[in-house]
């Protein structure tokens, strides 16, 4: 069964974003026009894609959707975000993502600034007391030719009713069809003024000051830092730059460790110390495994 023109039009309107590029399933940016046929191909199971939400307009960036990515198997956590939004008058939709996690989607009736959408979702996390690890849009503003980050779209191969993944969940926590999702999403768009009102309630959290590990040359971390490249030392010391996310910066540090000639054990030590100060993985149950995966990647690529 192929996607109908009506389904395609409604889906495209809900998930509209940049039209001059889109996200590839493998994690790279495809700098080509995002056409209706490419989106149809996603829905028909030809090639899965993602959309960049932030569209530049008159000196700012606007979006029509936001998404909180919970990349662990925690449906109660996803529901806590949805429920905190519901308490403020916003209808959110939980999608079981392509692997083990969940996406919590919100759709605006009209474009709003990326700042407002992001801060509204951050506020929902604060109310739910749930860590905001991957809130999209990930940036409030972009510089020059930056695209920001894309999010993989739901309903890849929408006619396949056997898969539980990439489907929005209904009231019984079971996947609903594309038509059901389109109906409920279009009937519950959030007014821009509501998004702006909730965004104004968000407060920048105070990060605890954590000192780096001891820099004594006799200590293992000191030995590793003595070998690390100058750029690696700066990244380790200062953390992500303004507008840069922690995962990308941590990966950059990992590559600098490998470039320096550090062995995997030394590299992990440096990454763990950086991570506990930046707050990316260290509070997760699988945090050490995530660091291990990063180390393996840079030493086997």
Distance of CA 138 to the CA centre of its chain: 6
The whole-number pLDDT of residue 206 equals 66
For the chain, residues classed under CATH 3.90.920.20 are 5-199
**3 state SS of 49:** strand
Closest CA to 108 of 94, 95, 120: 120
Q: Are 80 and 132 in contact (CB under 8 A)?
A: no
Q: Of the given ranges (2-16, 63-77, 114-128, 230-244), which has the lowest mean pLDDT?
A: 230-244
Pick from 155, 157, 141: which is nearest to 46 by CA?
157
Q: Torsion angle of alpha carbons 285, 101, 94, 52, nearest 10°?
A: 110
Residue range 51-86, pLDDT digits in tens: 999 999 999 999 999 999 998 999 999 999 999 999
5-199 classified as CATH 3.90.920.20 = yes
In sign, the C-alpha dihedral spanning 9, 21, 71, 212 is negative
Q: Answer yes or no: is pLDDT of 299 > 90.
A: no
Rounded distance, CA 223 to CA 217, Å?
5
- What are the angstrom distances between the C-alpha of 115 and each of 110, 126, 131? 14, 16, 19
- pLDDT 10s digits, 134-154: 999 999 999 888 999 999 999
- pTM (2 decimals)? 0.71
pLDDT, tens only, 1-29: 689 999 999 999 999 999 999 999 998 99
Q: Which residue matches tokens 């062995």?
A: 263
Confidence at 232, pLDDT banded by 50, 70, 90:
very high
CA angle 38, 40, 43 (to 5 degrees): 115
Quote the DSSP letter at residue 60. Answer: E
Alpha helix segments (H runs only) across the chain: 5-14, 36-43, 75-87, 114-128, 178-186, 192-199, 220-227, 230-238, 246-260, 264-278, 287-300
Per the CB < 8 A criterion, the answer to whether 221 and 213 are in contact is yes
Query: Stretch 99-105: mean pLDDT, rounded?
Result: 92
Over pLDDT 90: what percentage of the chain?
73
pLDDT in tens, 155-209: 999 999 899 999 999 999 999 999 999 999 999 999 999 999 999 999 887 654 4
Closest C-alpha among 31, 35, 44 to residue 16: 35
């Amino acid at each position: 069964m192929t996607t109908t023109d009506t389904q395609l039009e409604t889906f495209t309107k809900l998930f509209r974003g940049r039209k001059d590029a889109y996200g590839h399933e493998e994690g790279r940016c495809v700098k080509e026009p995002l056409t209706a046929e490419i989106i149809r191909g996603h829905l028909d199971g030809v090639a899965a894609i993602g959309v960049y939400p932030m569209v530049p307009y008159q000196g700012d960036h606007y979006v029509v959707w936001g998404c909180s990515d919970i990349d662990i198997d925690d449906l109660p956590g996803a529901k806590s975000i949805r429920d905190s939004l519901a308490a403020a008058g916003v209808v959110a939709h939980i999608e079981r993502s392509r692997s083990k996690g969940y996406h919590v989607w919100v759709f605006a009736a009209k474009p709003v600034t990326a700042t407002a959408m992001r801060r509204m979702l951050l506020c929902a996390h604060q109310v739910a007391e749930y860590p905001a690890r991957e809130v999209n849009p990930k940036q409030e503003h972009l510089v020059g030719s930056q695209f920001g980050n894309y999010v993989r779209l739901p309903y890849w191969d929408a006619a396949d009713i056997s898969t539980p993944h990439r489907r929005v969940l209904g009231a019984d926590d079971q996947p609903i069809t594309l038509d059901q999702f389109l109906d409920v999403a279009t009937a519950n768009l959030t007014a821009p003024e509501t998004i702006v009102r909730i965004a104004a309630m968000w407060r920048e959290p105070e990060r605890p000051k954590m000192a780096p590990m001891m820099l004594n040359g006799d200590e293992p971390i000191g030995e590793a830092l003595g070998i690390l490249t100058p750029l690696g030392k700066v990244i380790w010391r200062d953390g992500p730059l303004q507008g840069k996310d922690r995962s990308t910066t941590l990966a950059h540090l990992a590559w600098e460790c490998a470039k320096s000639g550090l062995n995997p054990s030394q590299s992990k030590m440096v990454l763990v110390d950086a991570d506990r100060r930046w707050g990316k993985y260290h509070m997760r149950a699988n945090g050490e495994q995530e660091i291990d995966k990063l180390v393996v990647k840079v030493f086997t690529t």
